Structure 1
């Protein structure tokens, strides 16, 4: 059996997955709490 290698798309080394999405959402929530847009008790 031979394994087919997938070729990376040119110009897209960064892949958006659920780990990155969770990181961005967490940082946005922290930022909103720090600026006072949402109360601190609302974010676990």
Structure 2
């Protein structure tokens, strides 16, 4: 078991797990917005998007 003094400090104060979760959230948001734009512009049929 590690103690807090043994864990490496992140430069921005955000743990690596939380930073990864933020990246996944933003990736999902961008993909959703791209799909929305494609459907609304008519380039992608709406029935293909679940």
TM-score, normalised by the number of residues in structure 1: 0.67
Query: What RMSD, in angstroms, separates the aligned Cα atoms of the two structures?
Result: 1.9
Determine which structure has greater relative contact order: mean sequence separation of CA pairs < 8 Å that are 6+ residues apart, divided by chain length. 1
Q: Give the unaligned 5+ runs of structure 2.
A: 13-18
- Say which structure is richer in helix: 2
The unaligned stretches of length 5 or more in structure 1 are 9-14
TM-score by length of 2: 0.61
Number of corresponding residues: 38
